[in-house]
Structures are given as structure tokens and as C-alpha cells.
Amino acid sequence: MSILKDKNILLGITAGIAAYKSANLVRLFIKAGANVKVVMTPASKDFITPLTLSTLSKNPVYSSFTEDGDDSQVWNNHVDLGLWADLLIIAPATANTMAKMANGVCDNILLATYLSAKCPVYFAPAMDLDMYKHETTKASFEKLISFGNKLIPAGTGELASGLVGEGRMAEPEDIFNYIEKDILDQLPLKGKRVLITAGPTYEAIDPVRFIGNHSSGKMGFAIANAAAGLGAEVILVTGPTHQKTGNNFVTVNPVTSADEMYNEVHKHYKETDIAILSAAVADYRPKNVASQKIKKKEFTFTIELEKTKDILKSLGEIKSHQFLVGFALETNNALEHAKGKLKSKNLDLIVLNSLQDKGAGFGVSTNKVTFITSTNEIIENDLKSKREVAQDLMELILKQTHA
């Protein structure tokens, strides 16, 4: 999954021959899971049709403040477009448009949107060699960069005039990669490794049966995606679950039993910066596992159980630089038990959720949690989606670690 997934991307297209490449750029953003809208200068429609771009983006294309032939004269609100966007990308950016951007000229909807945008702005110049090297163009570059806009360098190659040199708009794949890398490099957990556990564990009784619980893994997977969205390299150790992440920055290591999860977690813990153990690990397992399926003979059947290894406690005992987060699911005296677990297992933060809260617990898409820090700060939360809970958790970890 790309870091651009679910981002609102506004693509501005100006009147250069390189506008034909913008169709492929739209496709790359859509394939990455982004939401794309296109704003064109009126003259750019001579180079690529709005129909092509609206079909690819699955959204209307804006090229004027009102629609041509629209008797009702509905206004295309450039302010709303600018505020909608998480990213504004102008590709191609002609010398004419860049000069206007640099000097506050506002004579079309793209320029009005640019002046209204509150998001990061990227621009990919495209023009002939002499225009690209002209002092006024250089001045436009410098001014736009001084405003905080990001220049995507032009390439060198054959130009529309027949000349060969600098000024060719970067290829769509290069623009895409440049933006993705630039965003990743600015994320707070870039270069950090986050270890997460998720789902249940299954403890075998015989080759057919097991002891398990109702954990779906949804919470752990949501945390993994939230951590990856902040730039972390994520190792997700998960028990049996149907959940999928599809995120390129999450490595999923499936396990079955508590013992397997213990070993897998310890394999990665030393190189971990943040460990979040949200898995519902079985506290007990059958002491003896039958090698063959147990036949139903008696009216009663007794299984002798033994304790599993306490993964969370074992990590707390060897913790050095790691920020360690545990989860507590309680049915009574929840706060007291969670505080006890926080201290006894040497945690930095614990996430408490109760089966008494409607909409919280196993199998559902929502959760109601309380965060308790190592300084006994208690942060209660309302019922939220597990995705929102995961984002809240990661924000709190960032504050606690000053990442």
C-alpha cells in the first residue's frame, strides 16, 4: 500500500505539450488508492481533453469558475478545492503559470485554487531549453521554493522543439516516486521499527481441536497500518486471523500458538524502537497434546492445563531503549487491574478496554479504550472505530517518545 492511499490529490494541468503525460500520472495516483481531482487552465484543454481526465480520475474536471453552457451558472468553488486537497501537484507547470504563481497573478481557476490551498504544493516544470534556462524562469523557481513549494526537477532529453536538453517534464513514475519519498522522509517514525502483535493464539489439544478466543485481529492490524502511515517499518506478528493489511511497509509474520508468538517477538525485539502487544494471547495451554484425534467416549473429559509464557512481562524484563505498550481486556475492577499490569510488567503505556462497554471488545469494528501512562495519567476515550483508536494511540506514543 502506498503512503498516498486515501490522500486527496489535486492535480493542476497547464498548457504545455507534456500535458499528455498527466493522464498516466492520474492513473498512478488512482492505483495507489488516492482520491484525485483535476483542475486545468483553459488553454491546457488544447493538449488533453477533460473527458479523458474525468474518466481516469472518476471525478469532474474543473477548468473555469462556471461550467460552459450552464444556464444556472453554478460556481466551481476554488476555495473548497484548495481546502479539500492534501496535496496540490502542478504538472506540467509552464513558465507562464509559474511566473503567475510567483507574483500572485490570479486569472484562472487553477491559480485561484493555488492561492487558496493550505496543503503542500509540488510543481513539475515543462518547457523548452532556452525558456528553462532564462533568468526569469530561474527567478520563478527561486521565489516559488522560497514560498515552501517543492520543485520536481525537469529531466534532460529531446524536447518538442527538436532541441535536446533540460526542460523535459519528469516522467509520471518519477513524479510519483519523488512525492512519495518526500512525504515518507518527513514522517515522524521514518527510520523507526515498530513491533506489533495481533489476533488470538490457538493452543492445540490434538491435531483437530484447539483452545482459542474470539479475537479478530482488527485492532492490531489497524495499529500496524497507523504506524506504517507515520513512516515506520512495521513487523506484525499475528495469530490466526482473516485480516489483511496490503501495506508495503508492514511485514506480516503469522504464528499459531503462544509459544510461537513468544519466539517470533523475541527474534525482533532487540532492534525494535516501539513494541505494541495487542494480541489476545492464551494464558493456558494443554499440558499434553494428543498425537491423534481424541475420540468421544466418556461423558466428561478433563484437560490438564499449564501456563503459557508471559510475552509482555518477558519483554518488560529485558527492556532497554524500547517503548513498550500493553493491552488489558478486563471484565471487573478494570482500572485497578490495568494499573497493576502496567507496573508489574514494566510498561510505558497500557491500553485498557472492557467487555462491559457496548461496541468494544472482540470481533467488532469499534472500541472504547482508556490509555494509562507510566506516570498514571488516565486518558478516557469515547467509542470510536478501531482505525481512529489506532491513530489516537500512535499520536499519544509520539508525544510520549517525543518522536
Residues recognised as catalytic: 213
For 131-157, give the DSSP string. Answer: HHHSHHHHHHHHHHHHTT-EE---EEE
Specify the 3-state DSSP secondary structure of 104.
coil
Helices (H) and strands (E) in the chain, counts: 13, 22
- Cell 506489533 belongs to 196
Residues 6+ apart with CB under 8 A from 226: 387, 390, 391, 393, 394
Sheet holding 323-330, edge to edge: 250-254, 233-238, 193-198, 274-277, 323-330, 349-354, 369-373, 378-380
Q: How many Å apart are CA 99 and CA 105, to the nearest integer? A: 8
18 three-class SS? helix
Widest CA span in the chain: 93
